[in-house]
Chains A and B, each alone.
Chain A
């Protein structure tokens, strides 16, 4: 098939699937599930074919319409980054679809769920393929919507309703900056097309502001400081959604987008991204220690890895960021799916303190979870090691020692919370009835985690050549060569220290008090500090005390001043001045008199507006 044609199929098949489900299959959950999954596997196959058979840049463009002088462009730009991202997204998504069939088996609203997944696929693939800023923004918004819809899956729960709203609105705050950035590019460079922007911006230079504005979109979508508050709440959605959207793909789309427009980021913007990304990584890593909900703990882990990716972008290594995004997608999807399998097996228990001893009861889940955890901790030759150590190494080589320290701290924290998770969930003895009665999940759920976990978390880095085909290898090889691994590299020492003290230490530490969190027992203050709801509280305070009051005050003023006074009172003032006769018509409330006075009042306002 002609590559462009396959791109059309890749993009629009999910939309067709979503439309069919929305119109005809609402009540036929199992058909909807298989339709959506079949679609996901077909596009994964097409994407793999593209990855293997095409090379170089492939482009296609079509103008939908013109608004005045602005072309509303729609087109594809498939380069090395896009090819890798396309493969990762479709491949991970296909397995998560399969997993969902098992996980959502008893859900009444399966049709809606799988329709949502298909809409999400359509949206994220649009971001991957887009060849211009406007099209990126369109699909960016659609991704926000599908995320909203899927977080709100259990809409009759208050927390899910609140979380979906929060996610959408926080994303929109970021999008506000994004829109301004698009307008700026259009004004400054006269185009929104990536390739044209790349060439024009090298001529004209890049002002700081454009990078800052576009970065706002990234902050919202990738849940970076200070717009990170929505991601942990988004765990209210079904677990496959957390795996696909809020770990592997959507949040990574921000990183991918920043890599795509990296030529528009001024050095100051990069600096900020590097520092705040590294800080976010360390902070979120530590916060993961104070979560008892397995999914929330993983969500903080995702925040930490997104911080690391942001940091890589900031250090001027977009290809490393994309590589880490790919690796992270594999192991984090596995971790979430493993968590889903655990939750499913434990009869919807999400509290890690009530689990334990699942190694024996759920051996497949446990094995894959452990493999993905080792990848997450960057154990040498596991997928995460290649990209994460390369980023830490890059910080050292560029003499950004503060960033290096933050990243090292993040690496340590990662190992600690991973050890904690393994210890609380899989080792020891069951801490509740649900955990005692746990059972291994059905094949639809275990197959995906075996493939993604054992296959990709281990092999993606180990056998990068075999798994990431030639056309995208340049994305990976360049950083690997540049980083020049050797044993004396500081990153290796960081890794060694983190693994021994962090991972092994925490396995021991969290064994001390079964059924309780050791850190909370030893130092309740630290634990409380790490629970970290400050930003939620601050935003909540702002909404309740500033925004709401301001809105009510303005509504009151509008009623009083504009509706009550300006028009009528000016009329009334005239009445007093003009005298008794006319005043009578006014007070008798006759419509004609009333109208006359409103006319005069309006004229007076216009006159007032015009008189300088």
Chain B
């Protein structure tokens, strides 16, 4: 371990800063020749993925499992990966590579700036999961969010202005609320923002002498919740993803959104006892609403990209529930499954955005009433879309299955009604997803498709699109067939958090520590 510890941090830094530096150069070099900027940008997308996968796979068992690194980098930021953040880091890099491939084949104005900003988004998101102090956590998050807004505003689709505005406001507010909660907690624990790590915050808040104002946990939880589209703070998400350019939707909905969930786990759940008392109760209600209400809203969608955006909101429900049951009941399986689903959802949701855009570039529309029978002209696209849909509805073989079934099983001690309500997602998601598949790909080709095809015949999925899809679905299949790839990292931390929750419950049956 000693011999590698010098090497590893460098790798981590390379993974985070390569996209940032490449992005900066592309932003500055507007006139760089196309072939150069393409190759250079590809490097920025591919290198982090290679490093992250290498760190993630069993070959890095040499570092001890779960992998834990920590060191202080430039400007006083400290970096590290733990069992929870490593799978998210790896997923981000993989999604980033696929999104990068998509961005590279898009024809856009100001291409270098576009690629540069997407790289910034990726670098920032990687930084979020690779930093282990609080200021770095927020810094990298903003570093990813600002390009998201700009990209949506300038390169987005229909309704991009209002969507970008709404998204900017919601996400800023969410981040500020959670930060406010953390600041309150830190001042209670006597820590300073500039150099506190997650670990110090954890230790500080678990000091029995520290007491938190009641609302701290709630503000932090719902602040982070807003960023992860927790009901009822989800209004930004669907229009935001829908209006954004596809690579941005992929990185945002797939990876960056997990900032909020990661924050809930590593800060709110670990140190603020969100599972108990009134906060816990409302957390549960909101999470169930995510499953049921957002699920029903999906049924009402008439536009493919809107549907995928909404389903991405609905799929957050089981994740929240997994976190809830771990912090509230001390069921470690809940957190393990939630993390599994976070990774798997990132992959499947990015694949769906990618393929939906492939539909759009061919058929010229996302609207269900104009689409239909596309499988006849583009069988490979259809097959890939069906596969991504099946991943998203939790078909075994794909990673999503372990996450979903794990959350359902971790709720085994709850009332049957709650379980049934949550598990109803297997039916609801099948209904809206298969309806979308049938509407877009099956049946005889629609009038619009036939006209468009006879006017300008379109081709099946291109090599680059196939590559991006195979990367995402291949990763999902890998963790689906070998679930220990994820759980070997997450098990220990999930057990720890579950144990902690049980201890808290045992120590104070009536009041939460945050209310003491």
Interface residues of A (CB under 8 A from B): 64-70, 72, 109, 112, 134, 137-139, 141-142, 145, 148-149, 152, 155-158, 160-162, 164-165, 168-169, 172-173, 175-176, 179-180, 182-184, 186-187, 209, 547-548, 550-552, 554-555, 558, 562-563, 566-567, 591, 594-595, 598-599, 602-603, 605-607, 609-610, 612
Contact = CB atoms under 8 A, between A and B. Distances in A.
A168 B434 contact: yes
Contacts of B444: 156-158
Contacts of B426: 172, 175-176, 179
B214 to A, nearest CB: 7
Most chain B beta-carbon contacts within 10 A, residue among A68, A173, A555:
A68
B416 to A, nearest CB: 7
B169 interface: yes
Contact of B215 (A156, A602, A606): A606
Given A66-B491, A145-B395, A176-B426, A602 B173 contact: yes
B427 interface: yes
B187 interface: no
Contact of A551 (B300, B396, B438, B443): B300
B467 interface: no
Nearest to A600: B173
B337 A180 contact: no
B471 interface: no
11 contacts: A149-B386, A164-B434, A168-B434, A172-B426, A172-B430, A184-B416, A591-B165, A595-B169, A599-B173, A603-B177, A610-B214
A180 B423 contact: yes
A141 B396 contact: yes
Nearest to B331: A68
A602 B410 contact: no
Interface in B253-270: none
B13 interface: no
Most chain B beta-carbon contacts within 10 A, residue among A109, A165, A612:
A165
Given A551-B296, A607-B215, 12 more contacts: A65-B482, A67-B332, A141-B395, A169-B427, A176-B427, A179-B405, A183-B409, A184-B416, A550-B296, A562-B234, A563-B235, A610-B279
A92 to B, nearest CB: 24
A160 B373 CA distance: 12
Given A68-B335, A594-B169, A169 B483 contact: no
B511 interface: no
A25 to B, nearest CB: 14
B68 interface: no
A67 B340 contact: yes
A610 B218 contact: yes
A606 B495 contact: no
B297 A70 contact: no
A148 B410 CA distance: 29
Nearest to B310: A555
Contacts of B9: none
Contacts of A70: 333, 406, 409-410
B203 interface: no
Shortest Cβ-Cβ A-B pairs, 9 listed: A68-B333, A68-B332, A161-B442, A551-B299, A187-B412, A563-B235, A65-B484, A555-B300, A138-B396
B375 interface: yes
A558 B290 CA distance: 12
A65 B483 contact: yes
B177 to A, nearest CB: 6
Interface string B409-452: 11111001001100110110011001101100111110000000
A566 B232 contact: yes
Given A68-B498, A141-B395, A172-B426, A157 B443 contact: yes
Most chain A beta-carbon contacts within 10 A, residue among B232, B293, B326, B424:
B232
Nearest to B411: A183
Contacts, number: 199
Interface of B: 165, 168-170, 172-173, 176-177, 214-215, 218-219, 222, 226, 232-235, 278-279, 282, 293, 296-301, 326, 331-337, 340, 373, 375-376, 379, 382-383, 386, 390, 395-397, 401-402, 405-406, 408-413, 416, 419-420, 423-424, 426-427, 430-431, 434-435, 437-438, 441-445, 482-484, 486-488, 491, 494-495, 498
A612 B410 CA distance: 28
A67 B412 contact: no
Contacts of A141: 395-396, 401
Contacts of B382: 155
B434 A169 contact: yes
B307 to A, nearest CB: 11
B336 A67 contact: yes
A583 B172 CA distance: 21
Contacts of A605: 222, 232
Contacts of A160: 442
B150 to A, nearest CB: 14
Contacts of B177: 599, 602-603
Contacts of A179: 405, 408, 423, 426
A296 to B, nearest CB: 21
A559 B411 CA distance: 31
B235 A158 contact: no
Nearest to B404: A179
A66 B495 CA distance: 11
A182 B435 contact: no
Contacts of A563: 235
B218 to A, nearest CB: 5
Most chain B beta-carbon contacts within 10 A, residue among A64, A142, A610:
A610
Contacts of B420: 176, 180
Contacts of B483: 64-65, 67, 72
Contacts of A156: 373, 375-376, 442-445
Contacts of B435: 165
A67 B410 contact: yes
Nearest to A63: B484
Contacts of A550: 296
A152 B442 contact: yes
B327 to A, nearest CB: 13
A551 B301 CA distance: 9
Nearest to B390: A145
